[in-house]
Amino acid sequence: MSKEKFVLILPSIRSGHNVGAMFRTGDAVGVDKIYLTGYTAVPPHRQIDKVSLGAEKWIPFEYCQQTGRLIKKLKKQGYSVVALEQTKNSVNIFKWKPDFPIALIVGNEVRGIDGRIIKLCDQSVHIPMQGRKESLNVSIAAGVALYHIYSNAK
């Protein structure tokens, strides 16, 4: 099994600013590695570098073209793969306890996580919404989820 116990998967994230924000938040909570998949920008990148404030220089990251292959590989290594997505079977993240090692996957800014990818995940969790808008910006949602996982890592 890999020595990492807490990884983040960013599939086809359109905004380099969002990627940079997730590097910065990942650093704050001790993410061991970030996987960038699909068309997600890879450091060095002007927008990522600007927002991450250097976190992209010390958080290990790896680019993988195909998200599905990555998930299958991580599951073979013993990871629990969790989608941060509202689905008919998703669980309120604040009533959920993460199982380590864990790989959290977040969704594209417009489409969320592809249904084929969700089917590969062990489970889905969602952040409960109170307002009219039923979603958060992906980097904000990732921050909420990452801090929840971090607080349960002890």
User: With 70 as the cut, is the pLDDT of residue 2 above it?
Assistant: no
Query: E strands within the chain?
Result: 6-11, 33-37, 61-64, 80-84, 91-92, 102-105, 123-126
Both tokens assigned to 152: 């349960």
CA 133 – CA 72 distance, rounded (Å): 33
Task: Confirm if 138 and 106 have CB atoms less than 8 A apart.
Answer: yes
Query: What's the chain's Rg over C-alpha atoms?
Result: 14
User: With 70 as the cut, is the pLDDT of residue 3 above it?
Assistant: no
User: With 80 as the cut, is the pLDDT of residue 55 above it?
Assistant: yes
**Percent of the residues in the chain that have a pLDDT greater than 70, as a whole number:** 97
- As a whole number, the mean pLDDT across the chain is 96
Tens digits of residue pLDDT in 90-113: 999 999 999 999 999 999 999 999
User: With 70 as the cut, is the pLDDT of residue 125 above it?
Assistant: yes
More confident residue, 54 or 153: 54
Task: Confirm if 127 and 141 have CB atoms less than 8 A apart.
Answer: yes
- pLDDT band for position 153 (50/70/90)? confident
CA 58 – CA 61 distance, rounded (Å): 9
Residue 120's nearest CA partner among 57, 53, 75, 154 is: 75
- pLDDT band for position 121 (50/70/90)? very high
Residue 25's nearest CA partner among 56, 47, 62 is: 56
Among 66-75, 76-85, 127-136, the least confident range: 127-136
DSSP 152: T
**pLDDT (0 to 100) of residue 65:** 97
Residue 74's nearest CA partner among 33, 31, 127 is: 33
**Percent of the residues in the chain that have a pLDDT greater than 90, as a whole number:** 93
Rounded to the nearest 5°, which phi and psi values hold at 45?
-155, 130
Task: Give all domains of the chain, ordered by start, each with its CATH number.
Answer: 6-151 (3.40.1280.10)
